[in-house]
Amino acid sequence: MNKTFISDSKGYYGQYGGAYIPEMLRENVESLRAVYYDIIESEEFKKEFSMLLTDYAGRPSPLFFAGRLSNKYGAKIYLKREDLNHTGSHKINNTIGQILLAKKMGKKRIIAETGAGQHGAATATVCALMGMECVVYMGELDMARQEPNVKRMEMLGASVVPATCGNKTLKDATNEALRDWICNPENTFYIIGSVVGPHPYPDLVTKFQSVISEELLSQLMAKEGTEDPDYIIACVGGGSNAAGIFYKYIDRKKVKLIGVEAAGKGVETDETAATITVGETGIIHGSKTLLMQNEDGQITEPYSISAGLDYPGVGPLHAWLAGTGRASYLNATDNEALDAAYELTRLEGIIPALESAHALAALGKLKLKPADIVVVNISGRGDKDMQAYANANR
């Protein structure tokens, strides 16, 4: 493993990362940190993980040459089809990994937080598969906004517990999940849904998602005779699908890595979720990273049309990649994302998730040349976003 681009032993990526947690959580986090590496690097774990990714999630996800989209932008554009995974996004890669780890640690009960319900549904899915008890914390407001996902989780056997404090959204659900974990340290494993939270979660989730770039190396070699594209583009909420498709390329300097954040109504407005563009260093959910805050250091409410990108922080790996200049971070507004979603749908017959549409919107912002090989990560499918697409009426 190349130590130059993963976190150090305390979970720092440069100045970002670490584990800034209340004393009451220290033992839970420490007991996970002490064992995770040896477990996930063991041959037995790797075999089981790989079997489930193949036979249950449906991996490898195809790498598709998008011919009509390529014509439009004047470059060779490939789509990494995470939308074809079981449950419809890349999130299943991580939940399979974490539930296997929970089992090996002898845990019997799983908790998770969810915003739009995508991570909650992916967690409820693997809990059903493994016969484990599942409790998902979700803001009361989000439960009302995302009812189909609440129903999905309940059908899968999970209890969905409303978070009724604060804004009744993701941040409040996360606080409830942490409180539960403090009260149930012995039997409970907390499955976090992105490359965020205290060390070791960012490292853990990045490693589980790195299967995306692992596959890309050989898929691109088979199609183009090289492992290295010119550009890799992925949307960034917390940053897990981007971390996964960047991972194997971080030390291949000639591959340009492009993350795309949600600008919402525009980065110059208050209604945005473009953390790297407008955020400053602070601490959120146990990690030192860039986050959206006011002059007093209070975390501000993010906004995006896309629920999966609507997070006020970003994983410490991305704060570091942005700071060192190894990756570039662009942003796309709600309207640009909607246009890009309609464009992909009409040109290729693929309805992307609204999150993934932000990555596609970056195609028009790059100066592409005909020989350029571009890979866009299609992190998920658009079924869940049909209402927003219908309202947009393009």
Ligand X SMILES: *Cc1c(COP(=O)(O)O)cnc(C)c1O
Tell me: does residue 91 bind ligand X (CB under 6 A): yes
Which residue lies nearer to ligand X by CB, 229 or 259? Answer: 259
Question: Minimal distance in Å, beta carbon 119 to ligand X?
Answer: 6
Using CB under 6 A as the criterion, what x/- string covers residues 354-393 for binding ligand X? -xx----------------------xx-------------
Select from 20, 94, 13 the least CA-distant residue to 316: 13
Give Cα separations from 368 to 163, 291, 332 (angstroms). Answer: 46, 31, 18
Question: Minimal distance in Å, beta carbon 23 to ligand X?
Answer: 28
Tell me: does residue 239 bind ligand X (CB under 6 A): yes
Binding region for ligand X (CB under 6 A) out of 8-16, 183-191, 235-243, 333-341: 235-243
User: Backbone dihedral region of 21: left (phi > 0), alpha (psi from -120 to 50 degrees) or beta?
Assistant: beta
Give Cα separations from 375 to 201, 217, 251, 259 (angstroms). Answer: 26, 11, 17, 12
CA–CA gap between residue 206 and residue 93 (Å, rounded): 10
Separation of CA 110 from chain center? 19
Burial class (CB in 10 A: 0-12, 13-18, 19+), 51: exposed
Q: Are strands 12-13 and 16-17 parallel, antiparallel or unpaired?
A: antiparallel
Which residues within the stretch 249-268 sit at the binding site for ligand X (CB under 6 A)? none
Which residues within the stretch 305-324 sit at the binding site for ligand X (CB under 6 A)? 308-309
CA–CA gap between residue 20 and residue 197 (Å, rounded): 9
100, 121, 178, 235: which one contacts ligand X (CB under 6 A)?
A: 235
List of residues 6+ apart from 324 with CB closer than 8 A: 14
CA–CA gap between residue 374 and residue 363 (Å, rounded): 9
Question: Minimal distance in Å, beta carbon 112 to ligand X?
Answer: 12
Question: Minimal distance in Å, beta carbon 354 to ligand X?
Answer: 8
Question: Minimal distance in Å, beta carbon 47 to ligand X?
Answer: 26
Which residue lies nearer to ligand X by CB, 76 or 120? Answer: 120
Question: Minimal distance in Å, beta carbon 71 to ligand X?
Answer: 26
- Which residue lies nearest ligand X, judged by its C-beta? 380
Which residue lies nearer to ligand X by CB, 107 or 384? Answer: 384
379 in catalytic set: yes
Taking each continuous run of H as one helix and of E as one strand, the counts in the chain are 16, 14
**Per-residue b/e over 206-244, b at no fewer than 16 CB within 10 Å?**
bbbbbbbbebbeebbeeeeeebebbbbbbbbbbbbbbbb
158, 353, 375, 376: which one contacts ligand X (CB under 6 A)?
A: 353
Which residues within the stretch 170-199 sit at the binding site for ligand X (CB under 6 A)? 194
CA–CA gap between residue 107 and residue 134 (Å, rounded): 12
Which residue lies nearer to ligand X by CB, 287 or 372? Answer: 287
Separation of CA 130 from chain center? 23
Tell me: does residue 291 bind ligand X (CB under 6 A): no
Which residue lies nearer to ligand X by CB, 235 or 368? Answer: 235
Name 17's bridge partners: 12, 288
Query: Exactly one of 82, 113, 176, 215 is catalytic; which is it?
Result: 113
Which residue lies nearer to ligand X by CB, 18 or 117? Answer: 117
Which residue lies nearer to ligand X by CB, 334 or 355? Answer: 355
Query: Exactly one of 76, 80, 89, 91 is catalytic; which is it?
Result: 91
7, 85, 87, 89: which one contacts ligand X (CB under 6 A)?
A: 89
Binding region for ligand X (CB under 6 A) out of 104-112, 236-244, 269-277, 287-295: 236-244
Tell me: does residue 203 bind ligand X (CB under 6 A): no
SS3 state at 246:
helix
Tokens of 295: 């002059």
CA–CA gap between residue 156 and residue 244 (Å, rounded): 27
Give phi and psi for 132, each to the nearest 5.
Answer: -110, 150
Question: Minimal distance in Å, beta carbon 120 to ligand X?
Answer: 11
Which residues within the stretch 111-170 sit at the binding site for ligand X (CB under 6 A)? 118
Question: Minimal distance in Å, beta carbon 379 to ligand X?
Answer: 3
Binding residues vs ligand X (CB under 6 A)? 89, 91, 118, 194, 235-241, 308-309, 353, 355-356, 379-380
Residues with active-site annotation: 91, 113, 379
